[in-house]
Amino acid sequence: MARAALYIRTDPERRLPARDAQRAAGSTYASDCGHEVVAEYQDLEAPGHLLYYKPGLREAIDNIKEAEDWEVLIVTDPRCISDDASALHELVHKFSLYGNRLEGPGHEWEDLLAQMKIYRREMSRR
């Protein structure tokens, strides 16, 4: 059983699912995958682009670097991390370096990791 954390972000424009809907979907996903949810991070009404302007996400990143309380961060929609693909790929890369994973309904770690690697290769060719 992997230890997991939920990450919830809502946005001012209400394009992302509501907090309770994200919590329910993330909890169901965790249960279905056999993960134990041990933490939850939230950034409510947070803008979508930069990672480091989200205190809840910063706390989750600090946890993987220092406390290592969990292995999987469950996010119901990758847009909850960022509206910007490069920011999402940056987080996936950071998680891969620390041995953590980002998962959720409809987006498995292996898919996010493969997309990040393609993105990094394309950027290195520019």
Average pLDDT, stretch 98-104?
Answer: 95
The pLDDT, as a whole number, for residue 110 is 94
Residue-wise DSSP of 18-61? PHHHHHHHHHHHHHHHTPEEEEEEEETT--SS-GGG-HHHHHHH
For the residues 58-65, what does the mean pLDDT come to? 92
Give percent above pLDDT 70 in the chain.
Answer: 100
Q: What are the boundaries of each domain within the chain?
A: 3-124
Average pLDDT, the chain: 93
The model's pTM: 0.92
With 90 as the cut, is the pLDDT of residue 50 above it? no
SS3 124: helix
Q: Domain 3-124 carries which CATH code?
A: 3.40.50.1390
Calculate mean pLDDT across residues 20-36: 97
Which of 54, 119, 68 lies closest to 92 in space, CA to CA?
A: 119
**Residue 94 pLDDT grade (very low, low, confident, very high; cuts 50, 70, 90):** very high
Q: How far apart are CA 47 and CA 77, in angstroms?
A: 15
